[in-house]
Structure 1
């Protein structure tokens, strides 16, 4: 009861109800990520988090859930125990096998890897906007997939939409309408969060493919190794 009383006092001080706190926590636990520029809804929840940051972080810390809050690009990401978190000391706890720790499909992993490499390229060239996002056409993305992994985006429209929808839900990319994905003429924004999602170690593993000199028969084996490294950091 003392804990609840303390929570109530903090909520009252900030003019926030228990229902609003519950809504914020449920959203964070459900999605695992919150980006202020995603929608008006997420803007509202992000701003609410700022007012309750210490309270929310204390609550999540009791569950051994760690919070990455990027104040520059205004996003929040939750990590279950055992996850590798950029800029944080690793824990010795074994990782969760479910819940926030989602497993990507092979196609999703391949697309994330290529998006990360293209984002790194945009960073080097200074081609990112004030929100840290890089803009990439589907045509350029398809070319990068072919060059790096000898793959292409799914021809099946439903599969393609599902693939991009998954990465949008992870807040790794943004795009306006799914109809644009169907036509293949869309432009997507790659969010800076992809830097924390794909570690430097994974990116370094991809570098030989980026720089060339890898024959097609070697690509599948190399990507399998890279995928296993990426999945070790997923949440």
Structure 2
């Protein structure tokens, strides 16, 4: 163990870093599971620190069987649970446990909302409707409609339940919206962040995307029939 400590100290010294800085970074990653540079000044400092010692963090976490996904374009790093698949990361531990401390304990409603948000984000990507930070805008009214179309569910009616749901997704860095936003108003807007695609794989999205395309086709057909009926009168 002393040899490992000495090696760690040597590696940190080469980066002009102290052990306390490294420990704070590791604790932040383990506590939050994700660090986004544009989230706050605190996270910007942690992200810059991570970039300085990424190789050391990788070696350190690998000893515990933990991996991470680093998106340099959008400047965030997310810890990867055992068995998870994310872009650019080869899963070397498919036989790992299905659950663990790195996995977010999401309620069924949070899972449903995350899937629908991922579908909406994929749609925005296809239509080139994302900003320079890779975020897609969506109104609560459009989100609720999408949930009904894709899953036959609605957002919680109770204010406290709805606020807790969106707070959890903000903590996971999946969405961005004002903490005092009126979540009961359909014209309130949120931003879907690109990090959502590291939590939802293509297998989970495929049936929803197919359902979304089918629904759009049915609407098109219905509108066409309505136009034809109007033309006959």
Give TM class, smaller chain: 0.7 to 0.9
Gaps of 5+ in 1: 214-235
2:183 counterpart SS class? helix
Aligned with 2:167 (options 165, 168, 191):
165
Aligned with 1:95 (options 73, 97, 107):
97
User: TM-score, length-normalised on structure 2?
Assistant: 0.85
Deviations 1:70-90 (A, max 9, x none): 101111111133222333322
Question: How far apart, in 1, do the equivalents of 2:172 and 2:142 lie?
Answer: 22
1:208 aligns with 2:215: no
User: TM-score, length-normalised on structure 1?
Assistant: 0.85
Question: How far apart, in 2, do the equivalents of 1:3 and 1:20 lie?
Answer: 17
1:15 counterpart SS class? coil
Segments of 4+ in structure 1 off by > 3 A?
182-185
Deviations 1:34-83 (A, max 9, x none): 11111111111000000010101100011111110010111111113322
C-alpha deviation, 1:183, in angstroms: 4.3
Question: How far apart, in 1, do the equivalents of 2:153 and 2:214 lie?
Answer: 15
8 Å CA contact 2:136, 2:192 repeated in 1: yes
Partner in structure 2 of residue 2 of structure 1: 3
Question: How far apart, in 2, do the equivalents of 1:116 and 1:102 lie?
Answer: 16
Gaps of 5+ in 2: 216-233
Deviations 1:181-231 (A, max 9, x none): 354542111111111211111111212321236xxxxxxxxxxxxxxxxxx
C-alpha deviation, 1:150, in angstroms: 2.0
Q: Which has the higher contact order (CA 8 A, sep 6+)?
A: 1
8 Å CA contact 1:79, 1:100 repeated in 2: yes
Aligned with 1:122 (options 121, 124, 141):
124
Compare 167-176 and 4-13 and name the one that shifted more: 4-13
Compare 130-139 and 175-184 and name the one that shifted more: 175-184
- Please, what is the CA RMSD of the aligned residues? 1.8
1:85 aligns with 2:86: yes
Aligned pair count?
214
